[in-house]
Amino acid sequence: MRSRRYPADTTDDEWALIEPLLPVAACFTPRGGRPEVHLRRDIVDAIRFLVDSGCKWRSLPGDFPPFQTVHGFFARWTRAGVFNRIRDALRCLVRRQMGKPPRAVAAVIDSQSVKAADTVSRAGRGYDAGKRINGRKRHIVVDTQGLLLFVMITPASVHDGRAGREVLFRLRLMHPQRTVVWADPAYGGTRITWARTMLRLTVRTVSRPAGTNGFILLPRRWVAERTLAWMMHARPLVRDYERLPQHAEAMVTLAALTLMTRRLTRAPIHPNAAAPRPARPAVAW
């Protein structure tokens, strides 16, 4: 086993959470397959390193498995929805740790436009005239605690209202227990009536107060904006480099997975326990 030397490497407690949620190796299935040469933990650490540092696939350090192997696992697990299943399982654990029911009935929607690199094709990108950004747009759906439910990637030129129907439809299919959705006014309009009649979802919009400028903490919507700020700590999310929208969605999901595993495995701190201050050394004047 390789030594754990990078900040993104999984701890033993984190790996104990992730390992049972990974799919069974092909060699242990009835269909059969070749035994895996590299350890699953090294594969996961390599993917987390790339999501944290933002390096190229070919630039993975030499103590990780070959980049072709790591990218192959990343692509296969993305197609199979492995990262999404891990996300849903960890979110339920985090909510239980916070004393909340595992599945809430409310959600918050927001979008973020980011620039796209040259690796993104012209068909997969667009120009957001409002933000003056040529790239892609991320439509994220989070629960009331800011934990990611899912993300959808579109060209930045797609208006929030146009993408809102697809986002709400996916939300109803993936999370049928949701009944209330808080969103930007761009997701409102005719979508409110359509969501109420067709999906039985109540969409409530939160607008900025009239005559205000600069940053304002908006009720309900600030939860999704805080989640977007958390995601921007992962360097590959500052600019979109992925050719496929599915891989771009997986990058956002992986950043959320790291946040949840770190939250689940950190040592609990008693609210009334204060860390003792170190004694100030005596100074002779």
* C-alpha–C-alpha distance, residues 49 and 8, integer Å: 5
Does position 75 have pLDDT exceeding 90, yes or no?
A: yes
Of the candidates 167, 160, 214, 216, the residue with the CA atom closest to the CA atom of residue 189: 160
At residue 275 the predicted structure's pLDDT band, cuts being 50, 70 and 90, is very low
The pLDDT of residue 28: 84
The confidence score (pLDDT) of residue 267 equals 55
Q: What is the pLDDT of residues 32-49, one digit of tens each?
A: 888 889 999 999 999 999
Token pair of 162, please?
A: 């146009």
Backbone dihedral region for residue 97 (phi beyond 0: left; psi -120 to 50: alpha; all else: beta): alpha
- C-alpha–C-alpha distance, residues 201 and 173, integer Å: 12
Give the model confidence (pLDDT) of 130-145 as tens digits: 889 999 999 999 999 9
Backbone angles phi, psi at 212, to 5 degrees: -105, 150
pTM: 0.88
Q: For 118-161, give the DSSP string.
A: TTS-GGG-EEETTTTEEEEEEEEEE-TTS-EEEEEEEETTS-HH
Q: What is the pLDDT of residue 36?
A: 87
Dihedral (CA of 221, 224, 227, 229) sign: negative
Q: Give the integer Cα–Cα distance in Å for 88 and 213.
A: 37
For 172-204, the pLDDT digits (tens) are 999 999 899 999 888 887 788 999 999 999 999
CA 246 vs CA 14, 78, 154, 161, 253: distances in Å: 25, 7, 10, 21, 10
Is the Cβ–Cβ distance between 231 and 237 less than 8 Å?
A: yes
CATH topology for the 101-241 domain: Nucleotidyltransferase; domain 5 (3.30.420)
Mean pLDDT of the chain: 89
Domains in the chain: boundaries: 12-80, 101-241
Confidence band for 55, pLDDT divided at 50, 70 and 90: very high
Residue 281 has pLDDT above 90, yes or no: no
pLDDT at 266: 86
Q: Identify the pLDDT of residue 273.
A: 42
